[in-house]
């Protein structure tokens, strides 16, 4: 990675004197950004650009450059890459478009390049991107004319060049600037995870913003992010069709990609932002200490802005603790009318001695019970401007020295925003609501969930392996096998027996106890209910006999001739609440587990919690209690609680099972009946699909 950001020398391939030539823009940007390394324009027609001679071929290079940037028509790129390889150039950026994004022919070109970089050990950024920037050394490789952004502390990874440039422009306009930037393009070789790892280790970077339209390896992203000590902002414009996966189970149809992404980001401590505007809000807290708690003090020169700040605090879960008595007294004494309210938010509109403000800020900065300060600052009249500016400078210094997070908005006089941003290099929020949102984003990273503890589920693994051996059509395990599997995982299943004749059904029912329910089971029968293959609440021998007959008829209609079918007899279980325990494989993040309201409620309540597997029992418990159903079974209004420990271990076990057996595509235990008391759970139905 290093040479993509700190090259001592750069060759720019594809340059000509032609006014319409794009590659010469790269040379122009390098010069405009003050790049100090060697620049070698290369292009077959020669000539000179910005006073630098254009070499007609790479072979004319006087040295092995650290980095070659290629912007030629796509069809020439493989040859240029090969030339680079032969000359020992190990790092290449390809900005040309016309590859995989345009179809078959482009894909073939990419394959060719892939083979070349493998052979020569080249690392390649792009194609179809705009290269890299590093404002520490004036490296600026986009081909389109770019006013160099100021040097900042945030680094950017963007899948889209256009979005990347747009964000650079805004980060600059908001006074934040940028440290490093990489445009992923088609991700032929270098992908986001590797760049993210590099930025997380980079001393110049305090936070990373990723704009992505798809994930190369979501699971790896989670691993990288889990180790991070810097904020990661992810804007994932995830516009693929909703998972079309034949919605066989509730788990598949309900756990849309969006939910998996949300859950995964929360688990890894990645702040998922939905818009560019949100990224700008978050970025304004970069380079400040993180907000470690909920207690905010608002100092405001405008009463109204103080009210808006208080409203925003409530929206974002911040508290406004009362001021310490001596501080409240001091403010009261200093006010002109002596009637000023010294509650938090503090309305300082009646105090015209700015040294009071600075004194208050000093106290707050030293107070360990204050997690962040919001200052609504602004001189009201021209004559007080200089005093006000001196005050705000002091306040910023106090906060920095004390390591106290400080957000500032400016009331009314927008020129003061410019002063803070341009003169004091302090990014300023436009409105109090944005400022509080910014503090909340900062707090997010101090609330990262703990990494999962090692958890070894107690299962009968030999039986699990044996049962997984024989899936039916479409990969579904026959119902008896599915139930046995679940039972082998240590998750209780309602008693059941298999019958192939009416007589066997009667014996089973007598054995299990009335009333019973009966289900038709056959390898190719997936939609039991729709086929009339489920009968509930059979209370007498007569009903069981008649029921078996009806199921046999259903089998005649829905099971292909020659295929064996069975009838499953189960006691009719009453009472308790119905939940779902589910698992499936997400294309980005791999195995995920789901808990929520079960039975007919699953679809209507959408009361589900979701995690990327594996999870430990503690996390499973958190997950269960995130749902309303979880709170119900944990015992509300004097009801006896269910055994959440046991249920949590069952869910954690399911998550480990999914990780251990990659052939399992989906598990859907719905309903699982949960009763008060120890181990009180019973699985009543199970679907398991292998793939």
412 scored as a contact of its own copies (CB under 8 A): yes
**Segment interacting with its own copies, rule: CB under 8 A, options 115-123, 168-176, 263-271, 366-374:** 168-176
Give the DSSP per-residue string, 354-409.
HHHHHHHHHHHHH-TT--EEEEEE--SSGGGHHHHHHHHHHHHHHHHHHT--EEEE
Asked if 555 contacts 570 with a C-beta cutoff of 8 angstroms, the reply is: no
160 scored as a contact of its own copies (CB under 8 A): yes
Per-residue contact track with its own copies, 264 to 303, x per CB under 8 A? ----------xxxx-----------------------xxx
| Nearer CB in complex with its own copies: 311/461 | 311
Asked if 320 contacts 314 with a C-beta cutoff of 8 angstroms, the reply is: no
| Nearer CB in complex with its own copies: 258/563 | 258
Joined tokens for residue 123: 């690392």
Count of residues for the chain? 691
**Segment interacting with its own copies, rule: CB under 8 A, options 108-116, 304-312, 357-365, 559-567:** 304-312
What DSSP state is assigned to residue 19?
Answer: T
Joined tokens for residue 336: 């002109």
- List C-alpha distances in Å: 427 to 102, 151, 492, 503, 533: 41, 14, 57, 80, 65
32 scored as a contact of its own copies (CB under 8 A): no
| Nearer CB in complex with its own copies: 377/496 | 377
358 scored as a contact of its own copies (CB under 8 A): no
Which residues, numbered 615-674, are part of the site for its own copies (CB under 8 A)? Answer: 628, 631-632, 636-637, 639
Q: Which of 255, 307, 533 is nearest to 436 (CA)?
A: 307
Asked if 459 contacts 490 with a C-beta cutoff of 8 angstroms, the reply is: yes
Among 353, 474, 603, 645, binds its own copies (CB under 8 A): 603
Asked if 388 contacts 415 with a C-beta cutoff of 8 angstroms, the reply is: no
| Nearer CB in complex with its own copies: 382/462 | 382
554 scored as a contact of its own copies (CB under 8 A): no
Count of Cβ atoms closer than 10 Å to residue 46 Cβ: 16
165 scored as a contact of its own copies (CB under 8 A): yes
102 scored as a contact of its own copies (CB under 8 A): yes
Q: Residues in contact with its own copies, total (CB under 8 A)?
A: 68
| Nearer CB in complex with its own copies: 320/667 | 320
Among 229, 337, 456, 527, binds its own copies (CB under 8 A): 337
Which residues, numbered 43-72, are part of the site for its own copies (CB under 8 A)? Answer: none
Only one residue has tokens 């030339």, namely 83
Q: Please report how close the Cβ of residue 359 comes to its own copies at its closest, in angstroms.
A: 23
Among 18, 144, 541, 549, binds its own copies (CB under 8 A): 144
Q: CB neighbours of 373 closer than 8 A, spacing ≥ 6?
A: 296, 297, 298, 299, 361, 364, 365, 399, 404, 405, 406, 407
413 scored as a contact of its own copies (CB under 8 A): yes
Which residues, numbered 177-196, are part of the site for its own copies (CB under 8 A)? Answer: none
* SS3 label, residue 114: helix
162 scored as a contact of its own copies (CB under 8 A): yes
Q: Which of 196, 92, 182, 178 is nearest to 142 (CA)?
A: 182
Which residues, numbered 420-479, are part of the site for its own copies (CB under 8 A)? Answer: 430-434
Among 44, 85, 98, 321, binds its own copies (CB under 8 A): 98
| Nearer CB in complex with its own copies: 247/636 | 636
Angle (CA) 623-239-158 rounded to 5° is 95
574 scored as a contact of its own copies (CB under 8 A): no
- List C-alpha distances in Å: 610 to 254, 584, 603: 11, 11, 15
Q: Please report how close the Cβ of residue 19 comes to its own copies at its closest, in angstroms.
A: 8
- CA 564 – CA 522 distance, rounded (Å): 6
Chain residues binding its own copies by CB under 8 A are: 19, 25, 98, 102-103, 144-145, 158-166, 169-170, 173, 211, 213, 235, 237-239, 274-277, 301-305, 307-308, 310-312, 314-315, 337, 339, 349, 380-383, 411-414, 430-434, 600, 603-606, 628, 631-632, 636-637, 639
């Amino acid at each position: 990675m290093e040479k993509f950001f700190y090259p001592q020398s750069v060759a720019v391939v594809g340059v000509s004197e032609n006014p319409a030539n794009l590659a010469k823009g790269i040379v122009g940007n390098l010069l405009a950004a003050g790049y100090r390394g060697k620049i070698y324009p290369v292009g077959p027609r020669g000539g000179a650009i910005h006073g630098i001679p254009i070499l007609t071929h790479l072979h004319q290079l006087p040295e092995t450059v650290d980095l070659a940037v290629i912007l030629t028509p796509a069809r020439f790129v493989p040859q240029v890459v090969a030339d680079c390889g032969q000359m020992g150039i190990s790092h290449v950026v390809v900005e040309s478009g016309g590859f995989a994004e345009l179809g078959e022919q482009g894909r073939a070109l990419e394959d060719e390049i892939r083979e070349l970089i493998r052979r020569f050990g080249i690392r390649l950024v792009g194609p179809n991107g705009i290269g890299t920037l590093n404002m520490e050394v004036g490296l600026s490789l986009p081909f389109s004319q770019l006013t160099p952004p100021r040097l900042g502390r945030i680094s950017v990874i963007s899948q889209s060049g256009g979005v990347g440039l747009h964000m650079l422009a805004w980060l600059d306009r908001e006074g934040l600037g940028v440290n490093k930037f990489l445009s992923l393009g088609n991700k032929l070789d270098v992908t986001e995870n590797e760049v993210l790892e590099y930025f997380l280790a980079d001393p110049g970077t305090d936070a990373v913003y990723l704009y992505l339209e798809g994930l190369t390896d979501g699971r790896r992203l989670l691993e990288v992010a889990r180790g991070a000590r810097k904020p990661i902002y992810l804007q994932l414009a995830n516009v693929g069709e909703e998972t079309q996966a034949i919605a066989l189970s509730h788990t598949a149809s309900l756990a849309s990609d969006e939910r998996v992404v949300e859950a995964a980001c929360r688990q890894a401590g990645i702040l998922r932002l939905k818009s560019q505007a949100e990224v700008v809000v978050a970025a304004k807290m970069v380079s400040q200490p993180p907000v470690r708690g909920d207690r905010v003090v608002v100092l405001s020169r405008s009463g109204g802005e103080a009210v808006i700040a208080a409203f925003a605090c409530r929206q974002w879960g911040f508290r406004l603790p009362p001021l310490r008595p001596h501080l409240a007294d001091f403010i009261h004494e200093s006010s002109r009318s002596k009637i000023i309210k010294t509650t938090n938010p503090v309305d300082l509109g009646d105090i015209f001695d700015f040294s009071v403000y600075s004194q208050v800020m000093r106290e707050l900065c030293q107070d360990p019970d204050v997690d962040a300060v919001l200052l609504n600052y602004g001189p009201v009249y021209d004559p007080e401007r200089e005093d006000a500016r001196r005050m705000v400078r002091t306040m910023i210094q106090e906060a920095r020295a004390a390591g106290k997070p400080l957000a500032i908005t400016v009331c009314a006089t927008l020129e003061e925003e410019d002063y803070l941003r341009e003169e004091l290099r302090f990014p300023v929020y436009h409105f109090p609501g944005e400022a509080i949102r910014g503090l909340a984003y900062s707090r997010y990273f101090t609330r990262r969930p703990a990494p999962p503890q090692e958890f070894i589920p107690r299962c009968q693994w030999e039986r699990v392996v044996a049962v997984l051996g024989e899936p039916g059509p479409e990969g579904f395990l026959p119902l008896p096998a599915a139930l046995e599997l679940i039972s082998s995982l240590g998750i209780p299943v309602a008693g059941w027996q298999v019958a192939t004749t009416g007589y066997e059904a009667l014996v089973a029912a007598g054995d299990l106890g009335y009333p019973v329910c009966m289900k038709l089971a056959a390898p190719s029968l997936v939609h039991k209910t729709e086929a009339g293959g489920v009968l509930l609440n059979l209370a007498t021998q007569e009903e069981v006999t008649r029921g078996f007959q009806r199921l046999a008829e259903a089998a005649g209609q829905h099971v292909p001739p020659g295929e064996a079918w069975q009838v499953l007899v189960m006691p009719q279980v009453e009472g308790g609440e119905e939940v779902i325990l589910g698992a499936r494989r997400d294309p980005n993040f791999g195995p995920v587990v789901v808990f929520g309201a079960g039975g007919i409620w699953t679809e209507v309540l959408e009361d589900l919690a979701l995690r990327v597997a594996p999870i430990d029992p503690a996390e499973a418990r958190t997950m269960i209690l995130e749902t309303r159903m979880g709170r119900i079974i944990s015992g509300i209004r004097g009801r006896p609680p269910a055994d959440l420990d046991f249920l949590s271990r069952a869910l954690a076990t399911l998550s480990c099972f999914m990780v251990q057996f990659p052939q399992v595509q989906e598990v859907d235990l719905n309903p699982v009946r949960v009763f008060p008391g120890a181990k009180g759970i019973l699985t009543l139905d199970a679907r398991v699909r292998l793939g």
